[in-house]
Structure 1
Amino acid sequence: MPLVAKLLILSIAAQALLTVAILVLMGRERVPRVMSGEIPMADIAVERTAYPLRARLLSNSFDNQFQLPVLFYVAALLALLLGGVTWLEVVAAWLFVALRYVHAIIHVTTNHVLRRFTVYSAGLAVLVILWLMVLFRVFLT
């Protein structure tokens, strides 16, 4: 398998790792509170407002990992399926993943909405570029 394909697979794994890490952190915030009775199960059965802010931020960040990243996974897997992954695709993939990490860090710390939106928008732009590169290979080569 060519190095570029391996690097693209590693970017997929890095994005999946981010999702799992947020899930673990969220569980560490939520589970002890429910198990101790601090938060009754009935209070969280339908909505998350009973959780403290940090748990809600982690939950929102976790949910966010199933939005743009899903489109990333599809583009990356399609690039691998087509074969001949390019260095530009690998760079775009890693840049997208790096922006997702920054976005998640902002989301679960300061939650500065303007900064978070700026990073989110940059990630979206990189994702669009990745998709255009993949589509270019599908239809023009």
Structure 2
Amino acid sequence: MNAQLILLPVLLQIALTLASYVALARAKSKALALGQVDEVRRALHSDAWPDSVIKINNNIRNQFETPVLFYVLVLVLLNLGAVGWLTQLLAWLFVLSRIAHTLVHTGTNQVPLRRRLFTFGCVVLMLMTALAAWVLVIG
């Protein structure tokens, strides 16, 4: 198995973040065109924007929380030579959970479902961490 294939889910996670920025720019342009923005407060107060913009903006902030741990874990596992089928599977599961989380967060924003998706991604990161620790300690 080509260990560098672990970088594909990393690139997809990066693409998801960049796509969220594009969605945010579009949502902001639309809100501005429809006059839905408090022009006086918009520079410093996120509540000056409509919910459609706030949801995307909040989701972008989420892309710099657990995904940062994912990036580090992938690099650690790659450096340890611990990229096998299980590591690949976990990486893909994490990114798929982030895609699903983004769709829910920027769509219906159903908090219970969003929380389950977030928790699933965290469990995957815990498994990746345990795998890295196992390889580091046991060799």
- What is the RMSD computed on CA atoms of the aligned residues? 1.7
Q: CA deviation at 1:20?
A: 0.5
- Unaligned runs of 5+ residues in structure 1 are none
Deviation sequence 1:87-128 (CA, Å, 0-9, x none)? 111100100000000000000000000000011001100110
Normalising by structure 2, report the TM-score. Answer: 0.91
Name the counterpart of 2:67: 69
- Unaligned runs of 5+ residues in structure 2 are none
Distance 1:85 1:24, change over 3 A: same
- 2:98 is equivalent to residue 100 of structure 1: yes
Q: CA deviation at 1:41?
A: 4.8
What CA distance in whole angstroms lies between the structure 2 residues aligned with 1:50 and 1:14?
Answer: 31
What CA distance in whole angstroms lies between the structure 2 residues aligned with 1:61 and 1:119?
Answer: 13
Deviation sequence 1:22-49 (CA, Å, 0-9, x none)? 1110011114545x59335531222211
Name the counterpart of 2:49: 51
Q: Percent of aligned pairs with the same residue?
A: 32
What CA distance in whole angstroms lies between the structure 1 residues aligned with 2:34 and 2:50?
Answer: 14
Q: CA deviation at 1:6?
A: 2.7
Deviation sequence 1:53-103 (CA, Å, 0-9, x none)? 111100011000001000000000111122241211110010000000000
